[in-house]
Amino acid sequence: MLRHTWTLFLCLMMVAGAAVTYQIKYRAELATEEARDMVSEINGLEEDISRLKAQWSLLNQPSRLQALVENNAEVLPLTPLAPHQIALLDNIPERSPMSLIVPRRKPFSYAYESNTLAKLINQTSEPSLSDLIGSEAR
């Protein structure tokens, strides 16, 4: 009787052992699969990053930016920085209450000529917006 119980116990142990082994194997396979996916995802993302960096660098090339500025000077008049435009905070004198601020150059005086503005206004389809700019220009 005792021997039978013992055999039964061993059989159960065997089945249990097989089940556990199978579980471990299954989980390991799952984990392998997951790791494989992750590695490939990381590879893909890293490639994406490097590709986007190259693309960014291509778009951010000084030569390209310069061409863009030159070709769109009518809309956005950007010119290189001139030496007299650079100053330290210390160079700016204290504002005295008696002083009168006279701008050296009228803002927009050189590019936003009235005809350029008119052209811009004509391009916009929204009448309310053009009315608004128009009233300000007047």
Give the footprint of other proteins on this chain (CB under 8 A).
Answer: 3, 10-11, 14, 17-18, 21-22, 24-25, 28-29, 32, 35-36, 39-40, 43-44, 46-48, 50-51, 53-54, 56-58, 60-63, 66, 80-84, 86, 88
Nearer to other proteins, 22 or 108 (CB): 22
The half-sphere exposure of 128 on its side-chain side, counting CA atoms within 13 A, is 0
Are the C-beta atoms of residues 114 and 137 closer than 8 Å to each other?
yes
- Burial pattern 68-92, b for ≥16 Cβ within 10 A else e, equals eeeeeeeeeeeeeeeeeeeeeeeee
Q: For the CB of residue 119, give the shortest distance to other proteins in the complex, in Å.
A: 30
Nearer to other proteins, 24 or 137 (CB): 24
